[in-house]
Structure 1
Amino acid sequence: MRTQVAIIGGGPAGLLLQQLLHLAGIESVVLEQRSRDYVEARIRAGVLETSAVRLLEQVGVDARMKREGLIHDGFALAVDGQVHRIDLKGLTGGSTVMVYGQTEVTKDLNDAAAARGTPVIFEAQDVALHDLKTDTPFVTYAKDGVAQRLDCDFVAGCDGYHGVSRPSIPAEVLRSFERVYPFGWLGILADVPPCDHELIYSNHERGFALASMRSNVRSRYYIQTPVDADLADWPDDKIWDELALRLGPKAAASMTRGESIEKSIAPLRSFVAEPMRWGRLFLAGDAAHIVPPTGAKGLNLAASDVHYLSEALIAFYAKGSSDGIEAYSAKALARVWKAERFSWWFTGLTHRFPDTDTDAFGRRMQRAEIDYIVSSRAAQMTVAENYVGLPY
């Protein structure tokens, strides 16, 4: 089989890239290791930047998002129970964010692929990339136990942190940067109304907490815990009690408790791999970078990568220009590092670190930073600009 672009990974990055290329008349095949049901069941982030929403509109998969998604004009920053609102819309001249789960984005993109006949091959095993430094790269894989070969012009590696794409770049070429945080997020999903109509990020002496949602009847909450915490030590009632304490009395009074339908502990890290292009291979999304979930930049960074990559490939096929291909890595990384900076900063602002005990210098610095944000419109504008997403 032959195509123009082989896309490795059937998550939102790979599927969105395929739809952008399809609208430009460029053929592609998506290879996904897992089943469609598995991919669509993965619980991920749910806050979309303004530009990510526009990309989904561009590929025509925005109808359900606009019906079911929640537009947020701001978010709250709580400090030991005192709540301060960041007015995103007012501070940025009209920009907002959309609360719409990554699971739902993936379902919408899969439906679009099926409707348009853009091929997505699920349960593709033993994927390997070959001849990436030549003009004739190809991909091998197995489907239903039968060896397959996919010839192509380019390979887009959208297969996440544990995929095969990034390791296909030689170790002497690839450079990685990483920070591992000394805590995790214990997340709980429950079919209860959210405690507030906007997100609440809380810095409390007992640790970070986040009140979020997936809809008006499904809530997503998080608390900071040791990364090696045992879920067995966190029954639902204990989590609800801790959330009520960390989020403050106003949120606690509006909180509806219910049985969890999903519960997990996720480690936090910042990670970037450079370069994001080697020969005919491009990295996009989690294959190239990971951000802590504070500020919800993961899916949004994948969307910006795909935007830059699609533009580069469209220019190559439409005009014979390689300028975008040559510039892809540098252009994508410039935005990646800014998002990494914001996520790192926001995590540092809201979480308890080993040096932020009640009377420690680090804790006082957190309070001084928050006091400055609360009292300065200029500081709030900087926060808001980064939260709604820097322009592509």
Structure 2
Amino acid sequence: MAIAKSAVILILFFALACIEATVPKVPRIAGPDMFRNKNVAKDVLLPGEKIVSVMDFGAKADGKFDCTQAFMSAWQKVCHQSTGPTRLLIPPGRFLVSSMFFSGPCSIPSPVTIQVQGYVMATTDISEYENGDWLIFEKHNGLKIIGGGTFDGQGKKSWEYSQNCESAADGTCARNPSSLFVSDSSNVVIQGIRSVNPKGFHVFITKCTNVRLRKLKLLAPATSPNTDGIHVSHSNIVLMSKNTIATGDDCISMIQGVKNVFINRLKCGPGHGISIGSLGKYQDEDEVRGIRIKNCSLIGTTNGLRVKAWPDRYAGAASDISFSDIIMEKVKNPIIIDQEYECDPGCKKKPSLVKIKNVHFQNVRGTTTSPLAVDLRCSKLFGCQGVTVRDIDLKFGDAPTTSRCVNTHPIFGGLLMPPPCA
């Protein structure tokens, strides 16, 4: 009897272990935002804070010498060999570096500051990027990247090898390296930094909490493939303000697991606009919820305000999303909910399994290069619930603009140009 009882206990332990292994890991939620009610725009040295320069470890500011080892040695000194407040300084000059891990947690009091005054250049041989990204920041509770400097991904040579990972269904697509990749971190400020010509995304935020992205200038040619400005996944409480993004893909893209995002005073264009999604690409996707976008301008973008989901794939959800006080200039597709993403007109695939509800468009005005200014195409299976469209004024030269509503019945109000869907 005792043997049988032990066997049952072992089976239960084994079953629980199997269940735990199949449950997707939820990103850790940090405590209170350490930057709350503080003027993060002002950089002040902490009492006794020391400065460690990459020049002290053999870096050469000539744009030719490989400074990777010097940067890593300086980081080790700052993060793992110091006890009091210490910051990493990248002084004026041009510094060539390959892929690097700025790993935490650090031994010094939070936050750790990286002050970038110079011009940091990525090596161009993409085979060197086995880690998948260029500058990787992981496992920090308190991180500031400031200083007004520039990160140059030197991506032009790698763009010809770029793959469209968005349409790859099997998940084997190898995306080009992001310039700044921040993961598993909380209380992060990236401010006053320029990023030019990344190989992949300019800034990639994933599995993070309490992130502030301010006064960034992210630049790449309109023809550069898959160079999203700011890409966010599996993160909670992300505040973006006063950013300028001109790139070859989405200015800002948000996918599964993103919650409580506020975007204010974004200047976007050229690029593909502001996108939530694509959704429903992966099995067991986490919901997108609580997105606020306001006081933004989009100039010459392919799309404007977009929620996109795949047909004939996996379940997902997006809710509590608002776009307000938006100015558009020559935007091709201003307002879109597209649950037939990358499916030809007259899509015959099975309807999307993504549930979309409570999406609000208010006070959007300007010009479009397409007569179809409001295009809401939702899933035949679920439809879009709680959509509102208010005070829209979008002009297409002297010609009228139109709306389309499929599998949704929005509430329209206020001034409306185009007129409501029939």
**TM class by smaller structure:** under 0.3
Tell which structure's C-alpha radius of gyration is larger.
Answer: 2
Which structure has the highest helix share of the two? 1
TM-score, with normalisation over the residues of structure 1?
Answer: 0.22
- Higher relative contact order by CA 8 Å / sep ≥ 6: 1 or 2? 1
TM-score, with normalisation over the residues of structure 2?
Answer: 0.21
